[in-house]
Amino acid sequence: MTDKKSKAKEPENSVEIEVDLAAELESLKTQLTESQAKVQEYLDGLQRERADFTNYRRRMEQENSQMGRIATGTTIKKFIIVMDDLERALAHRPADDVWASGIDLVYRKFQSLLEAEGVTRMEVEGRPFDPNLHEAIMQEPSETHESGTVISVLQQGYMHGERVLRPALVKVAQ
């Protein structure tokens, strides 16, 4: 009986064993291919997410830097008004007054602080009018200047790096 039971558990021939193994092998190959496809899909998704996050971080850093420059520029704009007042006061100062010399020192120190922050005066006199940099207040006929050239500066313009803080108010030749 034991021989019959053991024979019943074994497949009847080797052809059936090979067919079962081939079917199982094909099933395993299919599973492997599907698993590899999923792995590649997940890897692609991960790489896209990393690239998106890197781009997001870079964009946030640029925006923060830009916001800092804008905030600095806004604050500096307020100080430029004080600079104008100092220039007007120095234009009408007494010649040998010690107090006026002190004002001149304050003005120069203030000017050097603004320059250290990247603020520069626009040099516009004698150059062609540019509406991005200048604001024309007056036009005047001129025989010495070409039409569209800045004749004189009525209020100084300032730049902070490449950004215009305040356009120069100018008189332009007709």
pTM: 0.62
- pLDDT tens for the chain, 174 residues long, are 455 555 545 556 777 888 888 889 999 999 999 999 999 999 999 999 999 999 999 999 999 988 988 888 888 888 899 999 888 888 888 777 888 888 888 999 999 999 998 899 999 888 999 989 999 999 989 888 888 899 999 999 999 888 899 999 999 998
Is 83 a domain residue? no
Question: Phi-psi region for residue 77, left (φ > 0), alpha (ψ -120 to 50) or beta?
Answer: alpha
User: What is the spatial distance between Cα 16 and Cα 1, in angstroms, rounded to a whole number?
Assistant: 24
| Residue in the structure block whose two tokens are 């430029």 | 80
Please give the residue range of the domain that contains residue 165: 120-174
CATH number for the domain that contains residue 156:
2.30.22.10
Domain count, the chain: 1
